[in-house]
Amino acid sequence: MRIHRSTLLDCSLEQAWQAVLQPRLLFYVAWPVLRFRPVTPPQLPDTWQDGNYLVRLYLGGWLPLGTQWMVISQDATRFWLRDNGHGPLARGWDHHITLRPTGAGQTWYTDEVTIHAGLLTPLVTGFAAGFYWWRQRRWVRLVRRGFAF
């Protein structure tokens, strides 16, 4: 199942892209719905690099949901980052972040996610729809605060 959600950010494309590249952005926009704890490697890099990252997920910051591989790739010339993740709960979690300038100093931010979780797909997709709505609210708040996270 697929989720597609966009929001208009009141910042430049370059500002948004620099934030997307930082794993700490994930921690900020996901909190308090999900917490990600790195397993392999034990610490995420300061800036996303193409590669595989095993994380442990916690619902609400404390309820363990298991592990998930984040398989990161990116294209800085097209302003997109992809996590083609997988794990025991969702055997496929293909998340694309895309940025597009408006020409007026603002940026369209889009999350597009395709989820494969077997019989749990409708339930996981329902959760993910709310989660990505929350992430984008946190993005807007972050921009308003001058990217102080």
Condensed to tens digits (0 to 9), the pLDDT of residues 92-137 reads: 999 999 999 998 999 999 999 999 999 999 999 999 999 999 999 9
In contact, 37 and 55? CB cutoff 8 Å: yes
Domain boundaries 2-144, corresponding CATH code: 3.30.530.20
Q: Percent of the chain having pLDDT more than 70? A: 100
pTM: 0.95
Q: How many CA atoms lie within 13 A of 114 on its CB side?
A: 5
